[in-house]
Amino acid sequence: MPITLTGISNDILSTTIYEIKDEVAEGLFETTPFLSVAKKLGKIKTFSGGYKLVCPVEVKEHSLVTVLDSGWEALDLSVQDFTEQAQYDWTRVAIPVLISGREEAENSGDKAIIDLAEARYKNAMSALMRQINRQIVQNDSIFTQLGTLNGNMQAGAGGVATGFLEDELPEVQGGTPTNTMGGLARTGVRGLQNQYLDGAGSFSIAEMFDLETRASTLMPSGGDGGRFHLTLASPAGYTAYRNALFSNERYVDAKTLDASGITSLAFSSGVIMPERNMVATGATGEAQNSFMMLNLDGITLKVHQGADFEFTGFENISGYDGRYGRILWMGGLTGTQLGSSALYTDAES
């Protein structure tokens, strides 16, 4: 018979958590727009293992064209490898859910114990999801191996050279991208260079459409044909976008995308949602990431199939008057094509 601290066994208490897992995850996604929309659109992929997350990326053309003026020209059979391997780290993290014997004694009755377990589980799940989301958006977490969208290298922006959205014009516009993607250089490969625009202190909806137009000319192969599935906006940027629309606002039912019940504005092929982690504390000028416009066929969160916010079940803690369980998550942010995504900075008003 399982050891118990009260009349409720670890098995029964664990089963209660298993049953509410999906409900809890849905309810908490409202504070994490990237996870919410990616999940609802089926853009989060699973993997089963491996030392690295390896993604093939097209960087060259496989063969050459021969002009057949007479019809007897010899075909140019020169070939070259047209793919390279982008490699990404994954991170594995856990957060405990703990209940002490004293707390169980203070919460009299089976229902009170179950309610306490649910409350602790929800709190731990929420904390874990917020940290994962914050790392993806701002690069501000202990989960550095997870990867990040924030490639803004301006002082105070908090970005890193491996971040996907770089604050640099693509080469076709005279820029010199220096960030890398999965260990691959972006120079000379148009599809690895995200669109970029500096708002220079003011928001313009025309500039957003300009970024969308440029991004739409570089679509990921094998995608669903959508342009920006999700646009993350700083609170000030979101307000500026909404003010620019006035009575022409287009709403979508947020219930189809998340559990928040908050109406979201439509933009491009998807939605634009406020994200409180967009701008790093104290960032000014170009260091302010106002809008991240994402094509989720080119940027993908991959999660281990056995560690997608999985709860391990309660067990007694040896040597202590209490029991605990763990919520496990393992995954990494990957990119195969960045030209269809864009970064719009310093557009807060």
In this model, does residue 29 exceed pLDDT 70?
A: no
| The predicted structure's pLDDT at residue 16 | 64
Residue 75 covered by a domain: no
Residue 73 covered by a domain: no
Residue 68 covered by a domain: no
- Residues 340, 195, single domain; the answer is yes
In this model, does residue 103 exceed pLDDT 90?
A: no
Residue 158 and residue 153: Cα distance in Å, rounded?
7
Segments in the chain forming alpha helices (H)? 10-28, 33-40, 101-106, 110-138, 205-216, 235-245
At 27, the pLDDT band (50, 70, 90 cuts) reads very low
Residue 320 and residue 311: Cα distance in Å, rounded?
21
Average pLDDT for residues 24-41, to the nearest whole number? Answer: 72
pLDDT tens-digit map of 277-318: 999 999 999 999 999 999 999 999 999 999 999 999 999 999
- Residues 213, 328, single domain; the answer is no
CB 266 within 8 A of CB 272: yes
pLDDT tens-digit map of 129-151: 999 999 999 999 889 999 999 99
- Residues 280, 326, single domain; the answer is no
CB under 8 Å, gap of 24 or more: what pairs does 166-175 form? Answer: 166/193, 166/194, 166/196, 166/343, 167/196, 167/198, 167/286, 167/343, 167/345, 168/196, 169/196, 170/194, 170/195, 170/196, 170/339
| The predicted structure's pLDDT at residue 1 | 34
Residue 20 and residue 122: Cα distance in Å, rounded?
10
* Alpha-carbon radius of gyration of the chain: 24
Q: What CATH number is given to the structural domain containing 320? A: 3.30.2400
In this model, does residue 41 exceed pLDDT 70?
A: yes
Tokens of 245: 């629309």
Residue 125 covered by a domain: yes
Average pLDDT for residues 184-200, to the nearest whole number? Answer: 95
- Residues 203, 264, single domain; the answer is yes
Q: What single-letter DSSP state applies at residue 287?
A: G
- Residues 96, 39, single domain; the answer is yes
Backbone angles phi, psi at 312, to 5 degrees: -85, -10
At 250, the pLDDT band (50, 70, 90 cuts) reads low
Q: Which residue in 330, 314, 307, 319 sits closest to 120, CA to CA?
A: 314
Residue 16 covered by a domain: yes
Tokens of 325: 């369980």
pLDDT tens-digit map of 204-233: 999 999 999 999 999 998 889 999 999 999
First to last CA, the chain: 64
Residue 153 covered by a domain: yes
In this model, does residue 251 exceed pLDDT 70?
A: no
> Considering its fold, how many domains does the chain have in total?
2
At 169, the pLDDT band (50, 70, 90 cuts) reads very high
- Residues 341, 211, single domain; the answer is yes
- Residues 18, 56, single domain; the answer is yes
Average pLDDT for residues 85-102, to the nearest whole number? Answer: 93
Residue 29 and residue 10: Cα distance in Å, rounded?
27
Domain limits for position 109 = 10-60+80-138+301-332
Residue 72 covered by a domain: no
Residue 5 covered by a domain: no
- Residues 341, 323, single domain; the answer is no
Side chain identity, residue 229:
H
| The predicted structure's pLDDT at residue 209 | 95
Strand pairing category for 322-335 and 91-100 = antiparallel
Q: How many helices (H) and strands (E) does the chain have?
A: 6, 18
Strand pairing category for 299-311 and 45-47 = parallel
Residue 268 and residue 271: Cα distance in Å, rounded?
7
Q: What single-letter DSSP state applies at residue 75?
A: P
| The predicted structure's pLDDT at residue 24 | 52
- Residues 290, 161, single domain; the answer is yes
Residue 304 and residue 331: Cα distance in Å, rounded?
6
- Residues 125, 165, single domain; the answer is no
- Residues 35, 119, single domain; the answer is yes
**Mean pLDDT score of the chain:** 87
| The predicted structure's pLDDT at residue 330 | 97
- Residues 87, 209, single domain; the answer is no
